[in-house]
Amino acid sequence: MPDYDVIVVGAGNAAFAAALSAKENGAEKVVVLEKAHKGMRGGNTHWSGAIFRMAFDKAEDLKPFLPGVEEKYLNFYDGIEPYTKERFWSDLNRVTQNRTDKELAEVLIDNSYDTVKWATEIAEIPCEPATSVCGIKVNGQWTFPGGVVVRAVHEGVGLSSCWFAAAEKAGIEIRYGSGATELVQDNNGRVTGVVTKEDNDSKTITANAIILACGGFEANAQWRAQYLGAPWDHAKVRGSSYNQGDGLRMALAIGALPWGQWSGRHSTPIDADWSDFADRKLTDKSNRLSYPFSIMINRKGLRFLDEGEDTNMYTYAKFGAQILNEPGSKAYQIFDQKTIQHLEPRYSTASPLIADTFEELVEMMDIDDKPTALKTINEYNKCAQSDDHFDPTQKDGVSTEGLALPKTNWAIKIDNPPYHAYPATGGITFTFGGLKVNPEAQVIGTDWRPIPGLYTAGEMVGGLFHYNYPGGSGLVSGQVFGRIAGRNAAKETA
């Protein structure tokens, strides 16, 4: 008799979707192994903004997630456009340059709405409109870009604690400080258990099915150097320090097929002063995404990209990488009093440099070529416009004139002191490379056949995201494939 019906490795969003789904589908003894100690539990899910991207045909379809929302937000549903499956497809194809795994993308998109509904019900996750990150208020009416309207109350912290509470309520055992190191197979190649390290002891525990949901390799500097290349080994990590690629390593060691873009990752501009791993209490408050209203200057004193190329939701992932590639992996975002009011609330966690003149500001900045920095700011101001047609809610076409490197929107003069400079770097969120799975969440081997008894979900699934990713898809992917993995793993107990 195995020790458990189902072992789930990891304790993030995907793991709990899998564990609760296994329980719901008849598995009696389900265990979750969490490598972190209790105080650091929950993986990237804890750090996340907890925004869920899902397809829906009409605004009112969101009512089950947002009971009573109209009492707080007048005419709330008038500001929401339907986000059909076709639109989700089109966004996923566009941002991944058509490289998304079509078979898995179909599973993700087709199940997105039903699965988020299932997850929020089974784990009793209260939701709210994602106003502060995705919403834009125009003439008193909130509007949201396609598909990203709903998030968990208290963001990732709330989401993660709901998952833990639901698992405990369902009688799922959680073993903290239990880091799986190896998969165990029988003579037929069936995965029958894991070796896990607990209290400096290695233990083998067995089950009818194993679900790996223990994240990517974003926290592993050596793997980042190996697969993403320099300077990613120097990137600061936006989430958990425990996602070291353990699950990928264990699965590859028994012949799982690597899948997707192993050199790909999600990153964003974050505060350069944050430590190597993001603060657990401040979670995702390191983001510095109001750069369209700034100019960004590197340590050579030069601008290096068009800050106003598009709204930040369509540029932040690539700009994070571009900043990381600048000298010292650092750039300053400079604002004046006209634009400072438009900074997203997360800037309040920073200590900006503040000065009444550019000379004083540049003097304080960690810049190698200060005269060039001053020249860059002054040249920008000569070519920038007045704020008569400035519109922070959309691409306003207010562009510099005559600059070799133009700023094509929101290019108004920076001339109203005091000036504020925020240091930014590129922070890594998660990695795209993973394992090949079929639509049943079974891990596929290098012989292109499922590895019996082995499933995976969440960041470990390869192939969905390449180059970029539509914000809010990571958690929904974890829930969709976690739910499927749990259902199928439960069947193996019969």
Ligand X SMILES: Cc1cc2nc3c(=O)[nH]c(=O)nc-3n(C[C@H](O)[C@H](O)[C@H](O)COP(=O)(O)OP(=O)(O)OC[C@H]3O[C@@H](n4cnc5c(N)ncnc54)[C@H](O)[C@@H]3O)c2cc1C
Residues that bind ligand X (CB under 6 A): 9-15, 33-36, 42-45, 47-51, 179-180, 213-215, 238-240, 242-243, 246, 284, 429-430, 458-459, 472-475, 478
- Supply the minimum distance, in Å, between the C-beta of residue 211 and ligand X: 11
Note whether 430 and 459 are within 8 A (CB).
Answer: yes
53 and 147 Cβ atoms separated by less than 8 Å: yes
* CA distances from residue 302 to 269, 340, 380, 413 in whole angstroms, order as listed: 17, 22, 11, 17
Distances (CA, A) of 447 to 249, 435, 438: 18, 13, 13
Output the six-digit token pair for 97: 């340059």
Q: Which is nearer to ligand X, 41 or 99 (CB)?
A: 41
Nearer to ligand X, 111 or 240 (CB): 240
- Contact between 178 and 34 under an 8 Å Cβ cutoff? The reply is yes
**Nearest to ligand X of 298, 429 (CB atom):** 429
Q: Which amino acid is at 240?
A: S
The strand pairing partners of 204, in sequence order, are: 195
Identity of the residue, 117 or 300, whose beta carbon is nearer to ligand X in the bound complex? 117
C-beta of 176: minimal distance to ligand X in Å?
Answer: 10
Q: What are phi and psi of 299, to 5 degrees?
A: -75, -10
Specify whether the CB–CB gap between 464 and 433 falls below 8 A. no
The minimum distance between CB 452 and ligand X, in angstroms, equals 21
Strand partners, 200: none
Tokens read off for 204: 């083998």
- Nearer residue to ligand X within complex by CB, 421 or 460: 460
Looking at the Cβ atoms of 14 and 340, the one nearer to ligand X is 14
Q: Which residue has the tokens 């969003």?
A: 13
Of residues 181, 184, 173, the one with CA closest to residue 201:
181
Asked if 130 and 150 count as a contact pair (C-beta separation under 8 A), the reply is yes
Query: CB of 270: closest distance to ligand X in angstroms?
Result: 9
* Residue 193 vs 308, nearer CB to ligand X: 193
Minimum Å distance from CB 71 to ligand X? Answer: 25
In the bound complex, what is the minimum distance in angstroms from residue 280's beta carbon to ligand X? 11
| Nearer of residues 204 and 386 to ligand X, judged by Cβ | 204
Q: Which is nearer to ligand X, 11 or 374 (CB)?
A: 11
- Least CB distance to ligand X at residue 396 (A): 27
Nearest-approach distance from CB 111 to ligand X, in angstroms: 15
In the complex, least distance from residue 428 CB atom to ligand X, rounded to whole angstroms:
9
* Whole-angstrom distance, CA of residue 446 vs CA of residue 452: 13
Residue 132: which residues within 8 A CB-CB, separation 6 or more? 344, 345
Q: For residues 10 and 160, what is the distance between their CA atoms, to the nearest angstrom? A: 12
Find the helix or strand (DSSP H, E) in which 150 lies.
strand 150-152
110: number of Cβ within 10 Å = 15
